Amino acid sequence: MIRAPLTWMVVAEVVVVVALVLVAWHAFGGATGPQSGPAVGFPAAEASPADTALPAAGVPAGGATFHGPFPGLNLGIGFWRSRMSSLNGDEAAFEALEWRVTHAVMAAAHDYLETVVLPAVRRAEGGAA
């Protein structure tokens, strides 16, 4: 059992997978861990009197007319229906692309296994099936 090449291939693959998991764990932990560096302090800025003077409520500044949406959340059903339909269409297209890529990778891995790995293992084990 120890001399079989398939055993060593499985052991090598397990070592590679464990190493990749450890690298990913370290990278994820470093990205989300607490920041140990010094805190960056910004100097306090004082507001000038021109910044604190606000125009009267409801009166456009400079007599300009107001163009554009009103502030706040748009509650119109037509607005949200159009936004969600475009978002759902984009998401469906992305999922279809993911599905095609996944199947292409699976087919390539299966073909590689059938045409390269298994014949090499059979030859190494002396033709035993």
For 104-116, the pLDDT digits (tens) are 999 999 999 999 9
CA–CA separation, 26 and 13 (whole Å): 20
Q: Does pTM top 0.75 for this prediction?
A: no
Q: Which carries the bigger pLDDT value, residue 7 or residue 58?
A: 7
First to last CA, the chain: 16
Considering the domain boundaries, does residue 99 fall inside one? yes
Query: Letter for the amino acid at 41?
Result: G
Considering the domain boundaries, does residue 96 fall inside one? yes
Considering the domain boundaries, does residue 39 fall inside one? no
Considering the domain boundaries, does residue 27 fall inside one? no
Considering the domain boundaries, does residue 95 fall inside one? yes
CA–CA separation, 129 and 51 (whole Å): 83
Considering the domain boundaries, does residue 74 fall inside one? no
Considering the domain boundaries, does residue 109 fall inside one? yes
The domain in which residue 102 lies consists of 87-129
Query: What domain count does the chain have?
Result: 1
